[in-house]
Amino acid sequence: MSPRPFVRLNMAMTADGKIATSTRSVHTFGSPRDARHLYELRASSDAILCGARTVEETNATLGNGGESFRRLRLRNGRAEHPVRVIVSGSGSFSTEARIWSHRFSPIHVWTGPTVTAARRQALQACADVVWTSPTDPIDLAAGLAQLAQDHGIRDVIVEGGGQLNDALLRAHLIDELHLTLCPRIFGGRTAPTISDGTGIEHITEAPGFTLKSLRRHGDELFLVYSRGTPLPT
Ligand SMILES: NC(=O)c1ccc[n+]([C@@H]2O[C@H](COP(=O)([O-])OP(=O)(O)OC[C@H]3O[C@@H](n4cnc5c(N)ncnc54)[C@H](OP(=O)(O)O)[C@@H]3O)[C@@H](O)[C@H]2O)c1
């Protein structure tokens, strides 16, 4: 198997597992401590990996979090800014997204083999790197392997959304899971959760995790799980 970066997934979720409201109008609900946790994780990661809808809907630029986190990155032996990787299998990611006007670090886009030539050209005009998976659905393990081999990426922090998380979890590509459990209930069948997509059918396919640490700050719980063994049948 090709070497790949160490992959952490970080999500803030409500007590009912939601990562946004059903209308998607609210997607930020953690405390300032949770925001710091996110930037600290970014500061020990060479790259950030996000799904197309997350980057569009949150107007994300995926930066380092400002001067103190820039210095932390340097102390951690990282570049000043993380490489930014956006997953967009069909190539639908908007060329008008806010991230394109913030050029502090390379922006990669991962697409699939079915992207039209016109969409590919449009993305190539914006992105520093467009990587096309040879397979549909995207071969996320191959994407991670080329990040390590071609771009020297050692650690990746995944920041959602639910569809991308689900594909990575089902492929057993998440080495460490950081969950901030926030004291809210959003409800709503259509509200995104930490893992949407297609999910799994059998318990043996469920990625297993081991609780590594649990800290309480105010009413929030900060949970860290490391990759474990799947549950027995
Ligand atoms: N609370 C939090 O911590 C948090 C964090 C992140 C996001 N969010 C919320 O989560 C919501 C977005 O989540 P989401 O699940 O709708 O979207 P998402 O996972 O961010 O993006 C989905 C899109 O990404 C591409 N994609 C994802 N996985 C893929 C795969 N395996 N293969 C190919 N393409 C893939 C596809 O793009 P194409 O359509 O181009 O094929 C797909 O339509 C937003 O409401 C956001 O605010 C909350």
Residue 227 CA to ligand 1 centre (angstroms): 22
Name the residue with tokens 């490489």: 83
| Ligand 1 closest atom vs CA 52 | 24
Q: What is the pLDDT of residue 60?
A: 97
Evaluate: CB of 27 within 6 angstroms of ligand 1: yes
For residues 130 and 165, what is the distance between their CA atoms, to the nearest angstrom?
21
Residue 8 near residue 165 (C-beta atoms within 8 A)? no
pTM for the model stands at: 0.96
pLDDT digits (tens, 9 = 90+) for 113-156: 999 999 999 999 999 999 999 999 999 999 999 999 999 999 99
Q: How large a percentage of the chain has pLDDT more than 70?
A: 97
pLDDT digits (tens, 9 = 90+) for 36-92: 999 999 999 999 999 999 999 999 999 999 999 999 999 999 999 999 999 999 999
**Mean pLDDT value of segment 18-23:** 96
**Integer angstrom CA distances of residue 139 from 28, 73, 199:** 30, 29, 17
| Ligand 1 closest atom vs CA 19 | 1
Q: What is the pLDDT of residue 81?
A: 98
Q: What is the pLDDT of residue 27?
A: 86
Confidence of residue 228 (pLDDT cuts 50, 70, 90): confident
Output the DSSP codes for 71-126: HHHHHTT--SS-EEEEE-TTS---TT-GGGG--SS-EEEEE-TT--HHHHHHHHHH
Evaluate: CB of 93 within 6 angstroms of ligand 1: yes
For residues 20 and 27, what is the distance between their CA atoms, to the nearest angstrom?
4
State CA 41 to chain mean position distance: 12
Q: What is the pLDDT of residue 231?
A: 56
Evaluate: CB of 188 within 6 angstroms of ligand 1: no
Evaluate: CB of 20 within 6 angstroms of ligand 1: yes
CATH 3.40.430.10 fits 6-227, yes or no: yes
Map out the domains of the chain as residue ranges: 6-227
Nearest protein Cα to ligand 1, atom 38: 88
Residue 182 near residue 16 (C-beta atoms within 8 A)? no
| Ligand 1 closest atom vs CA 29 | 1
